Amino acid sequence: MQQFTCPFCGPRDETEFHFGADAGKLRPEGADVSAEVWADYLYGTENRKGETLEIWMHLICGEFFKLRRDTVTHRVLAAMPLHAESSR
């Protein structure tokens, strides 16, 4: 079982976490969002081999955060709050 690091609670078992999305994925908005763009937003994930930056939620404290990890080695490289001001 992997161990992820919540920036607020420290290292915890992966079962305490829930995947959110690829980091940097923007929600397309407005009247003219094409079906293709919307479908990609709903269902497309990068599933990148190697280093990734993802949004995860720590179910215990309820905080979303950014997790940099390697999908091949499963190494956890860094964990950061979602927004800079959250680090207070």
Partner 1 sequence: MTAFRLAHGGDWIDRETEIRFRFDGCSYAGFAGDTLAAALLANGVGVVSRSFKYHRPRGIWGGGVEEPNAIVDIRQDGLRSPNARATLVPLRPGLEAVSVNADPDAAHDRLGFIDRFARFLPAGFYYKTFMWPDWHLYEPRIRRMAGLGEADPAWRSARAADRRHAHCDLLVIGGGPAGLLAARIGAAKGQRVLLVESERRCGGSLRHRAGGIDGKAAAAWIDETVTLLRAGGHRVLCGATAFGIYDHNLVGICQQHEDGRPDTLWRVRAGHVAVAAGALERPLPFANNDLPGVMSADAALRYRVGHGIVPGRRVVVATNNDSAYEVAALLASDADVTLIDSRAEGGPGIAGLHARRGVLVAGAIGDSGVRAVQLSSGERLQADSLLVSGGWTPSVHLFCQARGKLHWSDAAQALLPAAPVDGVSVVGAARDGLMPLGKLFGAVAEAMNAPDGSAETTGAVSTGPEAACGVGAFWPFLGSQGRIWIDLQNDVTAKDVALAVRENYVSVEHLKRYTTLGMATDQGKTSNVAGLAALSEITGQPIGALGTTTYRPPFAPVPLATMVGLQGGELLNPIRRLPLEAQHRAAGAIFQEYGGWLRPAYYGAADAQAAIQAEARKARESVALFDGSPLGKIEVFGPKAAEFMDFIYYNTMSSLAPGRCRYGFMLSETGVVFDDGVLIRLAENHFIVSCSSGHVGAVRMRLEEWRQDRFGRDAVFIHDATAALATLTVSGPQARPLLQRAGLEIALDDEALPHMTVAAGRFDGAPIRVARISFTGDRSYEISIAVERADGLWRRLREAGQAFSAGLLGIEALMLLRMEKGYVVIGRDTDGTTMPHDLGMPGPRNNRKAEFVGRRSLFTEAANAGNRLNLVGLQVAAGEAPLPVGAHGVAMQDGRPRSIGFVTSSGSSPILQRPVALALIEAGATRIGETITLRHLGEMRQAVIAPACAFDPVGDRLHA
Residues that bind partner 1 (CB under 8 A): 1-3, 14, 18, 20, 28-29, 33, 35, 38, 41-42, 57, 59, 62-64, 73-76, 82-83, 85-86
Q: Give least dist CB 7 to partner 1, A.
A: 13
Is the Cβ of residue 27 or residue 47 nearer to partner 1 in the bound state?
27
Q: Give least dist CB 2 to partner 1, A.
A: 4
Is the Cβ of residue 48 or residue 61 nearer to partner 1 in the bound state?
61
Tell me the C-alpha to C-alpha distance, in Å, between residue 14 and each of 5, 9, 19, 29, 75. 9, 13, 10, 32, 13
DSSP 44-63: -----SSEEEEEEEETTTTE
Question: From CA 67, how far away is CA 52, in angstroms rounded?
Answer: 8
